[in-house]
Structure 1
């Protein structure tokens, strides 16, 4: 399974925290904590990367993941380039999120319905 596309069981137990303050005092835009996966998402729209930002986020991710998989995501609009960095991270765009997550939004449970509404809102922004 692609680590960027969690299973339904993980998705239903996901805890999402916006503007999450890390132990080093930095704030990552979104923290998604699931039983088998911890994701830090840095959203870059009309902003540039701060000094050592990805490195600091990656260090905090490694510290917090506690045996789970961990992914640092750099999220941009389509057509925007990602920075070079010595740490591993995934550069994805908003349109890629739509493509990957739409299949998870077809359920009748609350999490699936919420995800469906979010993805529809995202699609409107990309038009």
Structure 2
């Protein structure tokens, strides 16, 4: 995480179709709309799930990701932010304080996220 920047954390799971079909592409769009944004994408494992890097990258047609993906093997970061499911977005302001916590990938959650990021623009 970077202080003095807006940080966006996306918690997702490869088995979550809303994550791979909507949230990941939307996260990519947001990096284009908000180039100053520090995007942190976190693949969260649940229960006894384990994924290899190749399995995680399999959702991308090029088998590479346009951004770094971190793995939360025991869902510790996910639980720390009290996420409700995947995808879950956490917006931290420039002081690294929690600004918004948004669950989901549908239009309403995407709009809420976009407006949250817009309101934090300098």
Q: TM-score of the superposition, structure 2-length normalised?
A: 0.36
Name the TM-score, length of structure 1 as normaliser.
0.35
Indicate the structure with greater strand content.
1
